[in-house]
């Protein structure tokens, strides 16, 4: 039976360590493809075009919108962020599990368009840890941090739309939790109910004494 890929949307508080998690998930298991978002925000030090994001200007982004080139896009803190359609659809057809790391506005749009998508929310164990991580990055002003904290509160208000919450306390454990969620998603009844119906039909034939 052909295995089709699952769309996994990973969101969570800014500073919850999603980037490191995704990197480790891709290192440990080979069934994943990471969707790279397109954005109009400027690269942070060390970020590469085509690896962390596709960095484009507003004109180019808006041209993609017109061409229906995104499965979702959103305006977040004054910048566009979008998920290019072609790569995601190609990977799913090939049976790869596609991970999107996007914020809540996008996640809910994805769930509406792809009801089988699995929404995972990553959280640090408590608020103190979260604040420490945000401060620790050292690349943002206090005002930006304060803005992010407010935003985090807003993000979590949509938590009831998510399917799973993983606590990023211990990296490897958290990676295994996400992988388990994906394996479980492949076992959902809807994915193989056809197989059971087929077996039932055959058994029905045998028990009525038909020739095998």
Work out whether 26 is an interface residue with a copy of itself (CB under 8 A): no
Nearer to a copy of itself, 15 or 106 (CB): 15
Work out whether 171 is an interface residue with a copy of itself (CB under 8 A): no
Work out whether 144 is an interface residue with a copy of itself (CB under 8 A): no
| CB proximity list for 88: less than 8 A, separation 6 or greater | 7, 35, 71, 98, 100
Binding mask 173-202 for a copy of itself (x = CB under 8 A): ---xx-xxx-xxx-xxx-xxx-xxxxxx-x
**CA end-to-end span of the chain, whole Å?**
22
Work out whether 137 is an interface residue with a copy of itself (CB under 8 A): no
Q: State the nearest-atom distance from the C-beta of 128 to a copy of itself, in Å.
A: 8
Q: Residue 84 burial (CB < 10 Å; 0-12/13-18/19+)?
A: middle
Q: State the nearest-atom distance from the C-beta of 94 to a copy of itself, in Å.
A: 21
Q: Report the residue from 34, 36, 56, 149 that binds a copy of itself according to the rule CB under 8 A.
A: 149
Work out whether 123 is an interface residue with a copy of itself (CB under 8 A): yes
CA 107, CA 149: separation in Å to the nearest integer? 19
Q: State the nearest-atom distance from the C-beta of 115 to a copy of itself, in Å.
A: 16
H or E stretch including 54? strand 54-55
**CA torsion, ordered 176, 116, 98, 58, to nearest 10 deg:** -130
| CB proximity list for 195: less than 8 A, separation 6 or greater | 1
In the complex, the residues that contact a copy of itself under the rule CB under 8 A are 13, 120-121, 123-128, 130-131, 146, 149-150, 152-153, 156-157, 159-160, 162-167, 176-177, 179-181, 183-185, 187-189, 191-193, 195-200, 202-204, 206-207
């Amino acid at each position: 039976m052909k295995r089709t890929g699952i769309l996994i949307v990973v969101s969570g508080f800014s500073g919850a360590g999603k980037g490191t998690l995704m990197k480790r998930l891709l290192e440990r298991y080979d069934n994943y493809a990471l969707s790279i978002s397109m954005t109009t925000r400027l690269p942070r030090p060390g970020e590469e075009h085509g690896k962390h994001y596709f960095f484009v200007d507003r004109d180019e982004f808006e041209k993609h919108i017109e061409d229906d080139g995104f499965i979702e896009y959103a305006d977040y803190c004054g910048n566009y962020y979008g998920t290019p359609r072609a790569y995601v659809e190609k990977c799913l057809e090939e049976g790869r599990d596609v991970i999107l790391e996007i914020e809540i506005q996008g996640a809910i749009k994805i769930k509406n368009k792809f009801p089988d998508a699995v929404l995972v929310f990553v959280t640090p164990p408590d608020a103190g840890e979260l604040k420490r991580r945000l401060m620790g990055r050292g690349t943002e002003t206090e005002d930006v941090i304060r803005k992010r904290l407010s935003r985090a509160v807003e993000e979590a208000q949509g938590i009831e739309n998510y399917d799973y919450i993983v606590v990023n306390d211990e990296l490897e454990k958290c990676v295994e939790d996400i992988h388990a969620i994906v394996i479980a998603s492949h076992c959902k009844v809807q994915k193989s109910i056809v197989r059971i119906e087929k077996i039932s039909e055959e058994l029905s034939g045998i028990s009525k004494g038909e020739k095998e």
